[in-house]
């Protein structure tokens, strides 16, 4: 009997009970010459009284509401039933792998039917229902309809802004589909609703950096540092971004901290060496690059490219030549 404690079930039972009472009374009002409810005379001698007319209007409104609610709930239940017949796993949908998998005709038919039912429940519902919006969101991902999925995501998070998993799942799904703007907007919406964290800002910085948006990526990494996310990885990423933006002094500041915190990281050494080269410090740059070679001698870069760069930097340091812009 646990299902009877469900508030939706309780509302449904109360609605059904009220509808039954109202329906019986309305039927009596139509068929009987005299109808009395409690102390009100609704019909006397075959004529409907003012109280009866008021009741008739209210009963018609209630029965219309109940019928409408029944139709909407039927669409919700049918939408859920069809989603349960689909074959794509949660992991495949969120990762985007479902777009490359061949599913049966029954799967595609269930997706189409689920989409129709959830859309009808959304369109005709008098108030938003989280289950309906989540169904629309899932169908949108199954159909690779990013615009539809984003609309449903916004509706779902408006109904349940505290659900962190909604933001996390949508960000994952959008990144898997190469939709950087939608992923960034979703993460920022989550931060607005739940509060920002250093990890959130670090994630945004990485997303923007991978998309080639270096300047906004630095803003996110700087905010990550301000929130306490001071790690060698963040310093490394921020230093590399500043170097690519042609700001070697800022790059070197962060990269020195990255190297100090993780002295055995050859990548940080390489980035620091390139930043120092851009700052016309060839001797210091050569030392960092040489140390990177020693830390990872088997890497192709250490065997094929860096030795020549080190030799050129050492030659420049010995001759006092001014460094050209670093690559």
pTM: 0.77
pLDDT greater than 70 at residue 300? yes
**CATH, residue 187:** 1.25.40.10
Query: In angstroms, rounded to a whole number, what is the distance separating the alpha carbons of residues 53 and 55?
Result: 5
**pLDDT given for residue 2 in this prediction:** 44
How confident is the model over 311-325, as pLDDT tens digits? 999 999 888 755 444
Single out the residue in 42, 68, 94 at which a domain terminates: 68
Is position 241 within any domain? Answer: no
Is position 140 within any domain? Answer: yes
Is position 326 within any domain? Answer: no
How confident is the model over 198-228, as pLDDT tens digits? 999 999 999 999 999 999 999 999 999 999 9
* Cα dihedral: 275, 278, 280, 281 (round 10): 20
Is position 61 within any domain? Answer: yes
Is position 155 within any domain? Answer: yes
Domain ranges, residue 105: 85-195
Count: domains in the chain: 2
Residues 97 and 178 both lie in one domain: yes
Token look-up 């994952």 returns: 172
Residues 56 and 93 both lie in one domain: no
Is position 122 within any domain? Answer: yes
Q: How confident is the model at residue 37 (pLDDT cuts 50, 70, 90)?
A: confident
**pLDDT given for residue 14 in this prediction:** 65
Average pLDDT, the chain: 89
Query: In angstroms, rounded to a whole number, what is the distance separating the alpha carbons of residues 240 and 251?
Result: 6
Query: In angstroms, rounded to a whole number, what is the distance separating the alpha carbons of residues 275 and 277?
Result: 5
Single out the residue in 11, 40, 68 at which a domain terminates: 68
Residues 16 and 59 both lie in one domain: yes
Single out the residue in 167, 195, 223 at which a domain terminates: 195
How confident is the model over 104-138, as pLDDT tens digits? 999 999 999 999 999 999 998 888 899 999 999 99
pLDDT greater than 90 at residue 53? no
Is position 234 within any domain? Answer: no
Query: In angstroms, rounded to a whole number, what is the distance separating the alpha carbons of residues 188 and 195?
Result: 9
Residues 99 and 181 both lie in one domain: yes
**pLDDT given for residue 15 in this prediction:** 66
Q: pLDDT higher for 31 or 116?
A: 116
Residues 22 and 53 both lie in one domain: yes
**pLDDT given for residue 9 in this prediction:** 53
**pLDDT given for residue 1 in this prediction:** 44
Query: Mean pLDDT throughout 236-251?
Result: 97
- Provide the 10 A C-beta neighbour count for residue 45: 7
Residues 92 and 149 both lie in one domain: yes
């Amino acid at each position: 009997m646990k299902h009877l404690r469900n508030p939706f079930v309780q509302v449904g039972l109360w609605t059904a009970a009220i509808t039954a009472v109202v329906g019986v009374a309305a039927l009596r009002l139509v068929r009987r010459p005299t109808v009395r409810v409690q102390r009100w005379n609704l019909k006397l001698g075959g004529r409907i009284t003012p109280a009866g007319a008021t009741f008739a209007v209210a009963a018609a409104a209630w029965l219309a509401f109940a019928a409408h609610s029944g139709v909407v709930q039927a669409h919700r239940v049918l939408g859920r039933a069809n989603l349960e017949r689909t074959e794509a796993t949660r992991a495949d949908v969120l990762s985007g792998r479902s777009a490359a998998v061949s599913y049966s005709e029954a799967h595609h038919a269930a997706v189409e039917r689920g989409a129709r039912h959830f859309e009808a429940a959304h369109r005709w519902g008098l108030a938003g229902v989280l289950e309906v919006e989540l169904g629309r969101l899932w169908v949108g991902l199954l159909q690779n309809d990013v615009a539809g999925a984003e609309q449903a995501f916004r509706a779902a998070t408006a109904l349940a802004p505290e659900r962190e998993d909604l933001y996390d799942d949508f960000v994952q799904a959008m990144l898997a589909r190469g939709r950087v703007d939608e992923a960034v907007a979703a993460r920022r919406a989550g931060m607005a609703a739940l509060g920002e964290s250093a990890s959130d800002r670090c994630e945004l910085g990485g997303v923007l950096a991978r998309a080639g948006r270096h300047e906004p990526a630095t803003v996110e990494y700087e905010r990550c540092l301000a929130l306490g996310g001071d790690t060698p990885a963040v310093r490394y990423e921020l230093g590399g971004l500043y170097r690519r933006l042609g700001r070697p002094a800022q790059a070197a500041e962060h990269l020195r901290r990255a190297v100090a915190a993780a002295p055995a990281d050859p990548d940080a050494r390489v980035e620091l060496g390139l930043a120092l080269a851009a700052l016309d410090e060839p001797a210091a740059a050569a030392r960092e690059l040489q140390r990177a070679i020693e830390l990872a001698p088997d890497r192709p870069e250490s065997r094929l490219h860096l030795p020549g760069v080190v030799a050129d930097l050492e030659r420049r340091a010995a001759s006092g030549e001014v460094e050209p812009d670093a690559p």
